[in-house]
A and B are shown apart, each in its own frame.
Chain A
Amino acid sequence: MKLGEKVAVESLEVELKTPTELRLAGTLSTPTAQAEFRRMLQDLHAQIVAAKTPAFSVDVQALRFVNSTAIRAFVDWISRAAHAGYTLAFKTSASVTWHRLSFSVLKSLAPSTVEILETHATPAGGGPAT
């Protein structure tokens, strides 16, 4: 992924804000967006490993809705990060139900790999929040 480039896949927005921070926004539910999202995460993992980045952040505060395929993609990424030895810090929003519930479970899969940074501000952006 290119630094600073915003990629839109249907209603999903992806931006590599810094070499160590990815921002996700919008919604992710269609097969096209799901497939592209999984491919982007695989590429990003390869970049992180190649750069020997020890810690990477993922800002999902404005990611309002995802289906189960996206949850599976996060599980796979956490698994790859744990094996490769870098950490993932997810910036989540307390006002989004699926952030509050699912990220705590995701952290429990690999507590030394995953960190959750929960904010209480209402994120910008429309769409349903689950």
Chain B
Amino acid sequence: MTRAAQAEQTLKLARKSAALADAQRFAEHALSYCTPECREAVTLAVCELGENLIKYGSGDELEAGTIGVSIEDDTVRVRATNRVSSEEDALRVRELVSQIERSGGAVRELYRARLQELFEHPELPRAQLGLLRMAFEGGFRLTCSYERSELQIVAERTCAGPA
């Protein structure tokens, strides 16, 4: 297998209590030859997306969704796909991804604004920080599609090279 195009490694995330620990292990091993910084970013993305799949995925299925990790040339890609239980949730995710995309380099301000909201309104039920952290801390570019109850989020970033 060459680094130029590594086939996507996929985790089917089960709806069980150990799922996020499984996701973390999967992420840590998926790109073992990348730089520590890249591996850290991928672990963050896989864990945040995995948590979202479990929280917001359709509740009537044993499998919460799938997460794939692949690399092509110098780009690492994390892809999460699941069926959502609420169209409203899916549209909210799509809007947030769109905001992050529009923000360009100002994603820190979006992240700060969300933390400020949570600081001022501790009663808010959802943190909704995962995608913002992926963009801000992980340096990922995000895209999102929603069709026929299926939500797909793709996160891409540059991987500088092997460790």
Q: Which residues of A contact B (CB under 8 A)?
A: 10-11, 27, 29-32, 65, 67-69, 71-72, 75-76, 78-79, 97-98, 101-102, 105-106, 108-110, 128-130
Contact = CB atoms under 8 A, between A and B. Distances in A.
B interface, over-half SS: helix
A55 to B, nearest CB: 20
B163 to A, nearest CB: 13
A108 B112 contact: yes
Contacts of B47: 29, 65, 67
Contact of B116 (A71, A72, A109): A109
Interface of B: 17-18, 20-21, 24, 27-28, 36-37, 39-41, 43-44, 47-48, 51, 108, 111-112, 115-116, 118-120, 122, 127, 129-130, 133, 136-138
Binding site secondary structure of chain A: helix
Q: Which of A11, A68, A76, A105 has the most CB of B within 10 A?
A: A68
Given A105-B108, A129-B40, A130-B44, A76 B20 contact: no
